[in-house]
Structure 1
Amino acid sequence: KALKLYPAGATTNSQSGVKDIEKTYPVIERMSEIGLPLLVHGEVTDPDVDIFDREAIFIEKVLHPLRQRFPALKVVMEHVTTSHGVDYVRGATGHLGATITTHHLIINRNTMLVGGIRPHYYCLPIAKRESHRLALVEAATSGDGQFFLGTDSAPHLDRAKETACGCAGVFSAPNTMSCLAQVFENQNALERLEGFTSLNGAKFYGMAPNKTRIRLKRQSTPIMQDDKLETPDGPLTIFDPGFELFWHVEQDAS
Structure 2
Amino acid sequence: MDSLTITQPDDWHLHLRDGDVLADVVHWSAARFGRAIIMPNLVPPVTTTEAAVAYRERTLAARPAGSGFEPLMTLYLTDNTPAAEIERAAASGVVQAVKLYPAGATTNSDSGVTDLGRCHDALEAIAEHDLTLCIHGEVTAPGVDIFDREAAFLDERLGPLLDAHPRLRVVLEHLTTRRAVEFVRAGPERLGATITPQHLLMNRNDLLAGGIRPHHYCLPVLKRERDREALLEAATSGHPRFFLGTDSAPHERGQKETACGCAGIFTAPLALELYAEAFDAVGALARLEGFASHHGADFYGLPRNRDTLTLRRAPRRLPDALPYGRGWIVPLRAGAEVAWQLAGDPASP
TM-score, with structure 2 as normaliser = 0.69
What residue ranges of structure 1 are gaps of 5+ in the alignment? none
Match of 2:150 among 49, 55, 59: 55
Partner of 1:250: 343
- Select the residue among 79, 90, 98 that pairs with 2:193: 98
**2:99–2:133 contact (8 Å) kept in structure 1:** yes
The 10-residue stretch of structure 1 (108-117 or 210-219) with the greater mean CA deviation from structure 2:
210-219
The alignment of Structure 1 onto Structure 2 pairs a total of residues equal to 250
1:140 to 235, 238, 257: 235
1:243 shift after superposition: 7.5
Could you tell me how far 1:242 is from its partner in structure 2? Answer: 10
Confirm or deny that 1:225 pairs with 2:286.
no
CA distance in 2: counterparts of 1:80 and 1:57, whole angstroms? 13
Counterpart-to-counterpart distance in 1, 2:124 and 2:247: 27
Distance 1:240 1:232, change over 3 A: same
Paired residue type of 2:141: D
User: Percent identity among equivalent residues?
Assistant: 52
Deviations along 1:126-178, whole A, 9 cap, x unmatched?
A: 11111111110000111111100110001111100000111000000001111
Cα-to-partner distance string for 1:44-79 (whole Å, 9 max, x where unaligned):
111111111110000000000011111221110011
Instruction: Specify the code of the residue in structure 1 equivalent to 2:333.
Output: D
Pair 1:37 & 2:171 matched:
no
Deviation at 1:244, TM superposition (A): 4.3
AA aligned to 1:229 is L
Deviation at 1:34, TM superposition (A): 2.9
Deviation at 1:197, TM superposition (A): 1.1
Amino acid at match of 2:320: D
Q: Which residue of 2 aligns with 1:173?
A: 268
Distance, in Å, in 2 between the alignment partners of 1:202 and 1:78 is 15
Taking a change above 3 Å as real, the CA distance of residues 9 and 242 of structure 1, as seen in their structure-2 partners, is same
Distance 1:192 1:180 in 2: 11
> SS state of the match for residue 245, structure 1?
strand
Give structure 2 stretches of 5+ with no counterpart: 1-95
Contact residue 178 and residue 247 of structure 1 kept, 8 A: yes
Deviations 1:24-49 (A, max 9, x none): 01111122233221110000111111
Whether the 8 Å contact between 2:318 and 2:334 is mirrored in structure 1 is: no
Query: Which residue of the partner structure matches residue 5 of structure 2?
Result: none
SS at match of 1:180: helix
Q: Could you tell me how far 1:209 is from its partner in structure 2?
A: 1.5
The 2-side partners of 1:73 and 1:50 are apart by 29
Q: 1:153 to 1:223 in 2, by over 3 A?
A: same
- TM superposition shift of 1:240: 1.5
Find the partner of 1:192 among 265, 269, 287.
287
Question: How far off is 1:16 after superposition?
Answer: 0.6
Write the distance in 1 (CA, Å) between the matches of 2:324 and 2:176: 31
Structure-2 change in CA distance of 1:241 and 1:180 (3 Å): farther
TM-score (structure 1 length as normaliser): 0.94
Q: What is the Cα-based RMSD across aligned positions, in Å? A: 1.6
Distance in 1 between the 2:321 and 2:307 partners?
A: 27
Distance 1:3 1:84 in 2: 24
Q: Output the CA distance in 1 between the equivalents of 2:161 and 2:224.
A: 27
Alignment-derived partner of residue 80 in structure 1:
175
CA contact (8 A) 1:106 1:241 kept: no
Q: In 2 relative to 1, CA 204–251 (structure 1 residues): closer, same or farther, beyond 3 Å?
A: farther
**Matching of residue 182 in structure 1 with residue 277 in structure 2:** yes
Match of 2:47 in 1: none
Distance 2:243 2:334 in 1: 20
Relative to structure 1, the CA distance from residue 242 to residue 142 in structure 2 (aligned partners, 3 Å threshold; closer, same or farther) is farther
Which structure features the higher share of strand residues?
2
Q: Give 1:234's aligned amino acid.
A: G
Distance, in Å, in 1 between the alignment partners of 2:229 and 2:336 is: 17
* Match in the other structure for 1:239: 332
Indicate conservation of the 8 Å contact 2:318/2:337, yes or no: no
Q: How far did 1:248 drift?
A: 1.1
